[in-house]
Structure 1
Amino acid sequence: MSQAEIHQGPATAPLHRLAHSRAGDKGNRLNLSLFAYRPEAYSALVEQVTEARVQALLAHRGASRVRRYLMPNLAGMNFVIDDVLQGGVNGALNLDGHGKTLSFLLLGMSVTVDAGLLLGET
């Protein structure tokens, strides 16, 4: 994709139009991976999907610490989030003790990028 094809002006959209995510758990700790559909979108993800924004997004679930690990060669990142699973699968009383639906929550986060990087409709 050429730079001319990408540059269409700024647009705000949910993260799922730029990337996909998976979730995994270990005890009371959650891993959320995020991978750009297009490598050209990776720098915007690094800039906007920060530890602070992810912690704020998951504050209602009790997230105490968020660490982000960048994987630039894969156009991805991994977030390790502590204390977000309400005790983990064996201790949580909620319907999602593994935290699998939290990747969907992450993908609802709004980002502002060049419209040419977005996939699909809202």
Structure 2
Amino acid sequence: MTRHSPRTAKLHDLASARAGDKGDTASIAVIADTREAYAAIKAQLTPERLRAEFPDRFRGPVRRYELPALLALNFVAERALDGGVNASLNLDAHGKALSYLLLGMEIELPGG
């Protein structure tokens, strides 16, 4: 029996994202294109993974809310914006910049 390695895809090939910010808290919604993509994204895109992949960006608590009827996950990340847009010297501290980071992550696809 031949074992196939999982295929991977960039998250931007499977989903879109919307983001917002309020002070130093970012809200990032990841909306899957299909139910199959939602299942793979839901299994792999966790608060722990976000913190592991972007430790310098996600410094505070990260909560995930599941919205299965919309095929979406919403992440609320505290202390993720260098003190907030008005307080930061970083020119790209808006929540939308974080959504682009997430969309560049790789997700394993079932059925290699």
**Alignment: residue pair count:** 108
Following TM superposition, by how much is the alpha carbon of 1:62 offset from its aligned partner in structure 2, in angstroms?
Answer: 4.8
Following TM superposition, by how much is the alpha carbon of 1:64 offset from its aligned partner in structure 2, in angstroms?
Answer: 1.3
Provide runs of 4+ in structure 1 moved above 2 Å: none
**In 2, Cα distance between the equivalents of 1:105 and 1:71?**
21
Structure 1 residue ranges without an equivalent (≥5): 1-8, 117-122
Q: Tell me the alpha carbon deviations over residues 2-36 of structure 1, each in whole angstroms, 9 at most, x when there is no partner.
A: xxxxxxx8311211111111110011000010000
Partner SS, residue 53 of structure 1: helix
Q: Quick one: which of 32, 37, 40 aligns to 1:41?
A: 37
Identity score, percent:
48
**In 1, Cα distance between the equivalents of 2:23 and 2:111?**
39
| Matches for 1:14-25 after TM superposition, within 5 Å | 14-25=10-21
Q: Which residue of 1 aligns with 2:77?
A: 81
Normalization by structure 2: what TM-score?
0.88
CA RMSD, Structure 1 to Structure 2 (Å): 1.7
Tell me if the contact between 1:90 and 1:97 (Cα under 8 Å) persists in the aligned partners: no
Normalization by structure 1: what TM-score?
0.81
Structure 2 residue ranges without an equivalent (≥5): none
**In 1, Cα distance between the equivalents of 2:80 and 2:104?**
18
